[in-house]
């Protein structure tokens, strides 16, 4: 692992939250709520094809639709969908 890759992991500039629910009271929305509450300075991309906005942020139907490739992807989808999210993440780099 290069220093640059380690830096992306430890201090990401953009985080995607795959499977983030539209209802912020649901457990799957906790990463988004915590990032917002604690002032994450980077870009946050909620990813859910059923919503256009989540928590006041634009939501994206897939990782490929995010404005830029995230440094980190939090995966909160059903087990059957994890492989698809991993494939999307690999495809965007």
What pLDDT does residue 36 have?
A: 97
pLDDT at 91 over 80: yes
CATH architecture of 12-92: 3-Layer(aba) Sandwich (3.40)
Domain boundaries, the chain: 12-92
- Give burial (CB, 10 Å; 0-12/13-18/19+) of 50: exposed
Mean pLDDT of 57-80: 97
| Distance between CA atoms of residues 21 and 73, nearest Å | 15
pLDDT at 9 over 80: no
What pLDDT does residue 8 have?
A: 72
pTM score of the predicted model: 0.90
């Amino acid at each position: 692992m290069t220093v640059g890759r380690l830096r992306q992991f430890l201090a990401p500039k953009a985080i995607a939250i795959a499977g983030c629910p539209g209802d912020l009271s649901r457990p799957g929305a906790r990463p988004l709520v915590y990032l917002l509450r604690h002032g994450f300075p980077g870009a946050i991309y909620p990813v859910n094809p059923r919503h256009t906005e989540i928590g006041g942020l634009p939501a994206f139907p897939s990782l490929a639709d995010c404005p830029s490739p995230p440094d980190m992807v939090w995966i909160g989808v059903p087990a059957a969908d994890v492989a698809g999210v991993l494939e999307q993440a690999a495809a965007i780099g």
